[in-house]
Every structure is written in structure tokens, then in C-alpha cells.
Structure 1
């Protein structure tokens, strides 16, 4: 399992203030997008853990108390909606808000996300301010 973490010791963000906000898990297989998103979230004060596959996310969520999960749908090992279903079915993880982030932008995709138990849906490309607003709403 490969986990990237933005907890204040990453060389790319050395010298920046350590985040003091909630810890978010970002599950995204596109490494460039995941690093960019994590950096933006870090700048907003969030602690961000990165995972590039879905199965490790199921294990990681049981070890770390995440306040929110950003979940891509098309992951290399498993569908992000399946991971979402499993997390929402587990009493230990069912209360963690999950935002589905995907390039699939049809109404049927939104409905599938809702049926999987996602708390919100954001289609790529998205405005980062929309992402921040969704996160703030779900953490309020």
C-alpha cells in the first residue's frame, strides 16, 4: 500500500505551516491531480492523506479517524462506488462524509453515487472553490 501524506513533513511543502484542520482521505489514481488537490487542501489548513487505489482505503479508514473522504470512481483496483458502499455499510465508517469526484458527469452517474451512499458528488473538471464549499458544508 502506498500512502502519500501531507502532514507537514513533505519536502514539497517544507516551510509552510502545519495544517491544523480536519484530516481528509483523498483516493485518486491520477497522481498529478491528487498532488495538486492535496496541496490546495493543505493550503486551506486540512491534513490530507493520499491513496491511489480503493482497497487500501478500506483498511486505512479503520486506522485513521478521517473527517471526510474524497473518492474517485475509476480506480485501478476497484470501483470507488463499491468502496463507498462498503464504507457506508460498516458501522465504524458509515458516518464519514464521502464526496464522489469523477469525470462521469451524467445524471445517471449522480444517481449511482447517491445509491452507493455518497454524501455529495462533484464532476471533473471542477472549480476548487466548489470543492471547498462542499467540504465546509459536510463538515459543518
Structure 2
């Protein structure tokens, strides 16, 4: 599915409230997609790193839930590419990963992630983090 992105709008999804879920694990995607749509976000899905980067550049989501380990291009690499591009550098990025060592967290933050969440995680807590980040953006 290299480069393939699916877009699905939530019931009350609004333009400008796009969230990209970039993960190659179908169960995580389904769970996150359900939660984000329920909160009214317009949900985009990418199944690999290259697809995520292409979607970010094309769709300009406000926030990306980015798996650190994906085929083709790692989430760390995607994050660095997003931060180095003037057109995408303001995109909020929440890194999602099973890599919980301090060195991994430092790599995620060093790549430019706004938050670093280790798997397994509470979808409810993650949704709250997303909502807080969106509210902070709106207030700025």
C-alpha cells in the first residue's frame, strides 16, 4: 500500500481538523480511527512512512499520530522531514511506538515530535492529548 492514503470524515469533522493516523498495524488504526471520528475529526490513514509523508505534504493535517517503526520510512525519518519543510513544520506530531527506552524517547523528541506515547496506550488518554494539543493551537 505504499503511498496509499484513505480519507474518512467523522460525523462532525471539520476542514482544518484533519488528523492523520500513520501506522502499519491494522488493529491500532481501526481503534484510533474510531476514537478520532467519534470526536469529530476528519481522519486520514497512511500505512507506511512514505505514504504518511506524502499525506502530510498533500493534506496538511493539523496533527499526526505517527508510529515510529513503519515500512519504507521510519516515523523518526518522517518527523525529521516534516520539521525540515517550511510548508509542514507546524504540523503537530504525536509519536506512537513500542520503543519505550529513554534513548528512543530522546530520538523522537530530537526528531521534532511534540509528544511521545508508548504502546500499549490508553486510547482515551491519547484522545485527550490530541484534544489538548488542538485547543492549544486554537488559542495561539
Q: Which category describes the TM-score, using the shorter chain as reference length?
A: 0.7 to 0.9
2:43 equivalent in structure 1: 48
Q: 2:13 aligns with which of 19, 31, 45?
A: 19
TM-score w.r.t. length of structure 2: 0.88
Show structure 2 runs of 5+ residues with no match.
none
Distance of 1:19 and 1:58 partners within structure 2: 22
Distance of 2:57 and 2:101 partners within structure 1: 32
Q: What RMSD over aligned residues (CA atoms) do the two structures have, in Å?
A: 1.4
Show structure 1 runs of 5+ residues with no match.
9-16
2:81 equivalent in structure 1: 86
More displaced 10-residue stretch of structure 1: 57-66 or 27-36: 57-66
Q: 1:117 aligns with which of 112, 115, 122?
A: 112
1:96 paired to 2:91: yes
2:132 equivalent in structure 1: 137
4+ residue segments displaced more than 3 Å:
none
Q: 1:3 aligns with which of 2, 5, 21?
A: 5
- Secondary structure, in 3 states, of the residue corresponding to 1:122? strand
TM-score w.r.t. length of structure 1: 0.88
Deviations 1:17-46 (A, max 9, x none): 342371101100011211221111101111
* Count of matched residue pairs: 132
